[in-house]
Amino acid sequence: MTRLLRYALQILAYAGFAAVVGYFSFWPRYEYAEPEDAVVKLSLSHAASRARPCVRLTPQEVAELAPNMRRTEQCERQRVPLLIELDVDGETVLQLSVAPSGLWEDGPASVYERFDLPAGVHMIAVRLRDSARADGWDYTHVEEVVLERGRYLTITFKPETGGFSIR
């Protein structure tokens, strides 16, 4: 009898646990954004240009290197930070300077930002500088978009396809 009672209690405990997990799987309800708003996401990972230009090695300098280390250029690892600006309807909503990742600051800089905007027509301008220049932008994109309630608009960046993409 004790074995049957133990199994019954174990089944009851499992059922209670499953009921609690099932309840919290749908309540309280999580809202990603306000129902009347749209969400704009800026998501990119990009390696900026090097902080210093590569130096071309002479044939003598190349010959002095170990055979497995021979290369024609010597490049510093460090990269410049990415500068990013995002305007919505002529108002700057984001200005970032993102440091490169990695122990030697030689990896890509990653950005993920999210904005809730009212639904409707908006003019979005996004700019990026990935070089050591003092002013100006290396990539710019301006586009008029129609934001629908409860929908997402994603801004991505790929230099091989020309820069920014708004979808």
Residue 1: per-residue pLDDT: 66
The tens digit of pLDDT for each residue in 104-119 reads 999 999 999 999 999 9
As a CATH number, domain 33-49+80-166 is 2.60.40
- Residue boundaries of the structural domains of the chain: 1-30, 33-49+80-166
Better pLDDT: 1 or 112? 112
Residue 102 has pLDDT above 90, yes or no: yes
Contact 124, 143 (CB under 8 A): yes
* Helix H or strand E segment including 59: helix 59-64
- For the beta sheet containing 91-98, the strands, ordered from the edge strand earlier in sequence to the opposite edge, are 91-98, 82-88, 120-129, 139-147
| pLDDT the model gives residue 166 | 93
pLDDT of residue 103: 92
For the stretch 39-61, pLDDT in tens is 999 999 999 999 999 999 999 99
Cβ contacts of 27 within 8 Å, gap of 6 or more: none
Backbone phi and psi for residue 68, each to the nearest 5 degrees, phi listed first: -80, -5
pLDDT digits (tens, 9 = 90+) for 121-140: 999 999 999 999 989 999 99
For residue 32, what pLDDT is reported? 73
Alpha-carbon distances of 59 from 52, 71, 74, 129, rounded to whole Å: 22, 10, 13, 35
Average pLDDT of every residue of the chain = 93
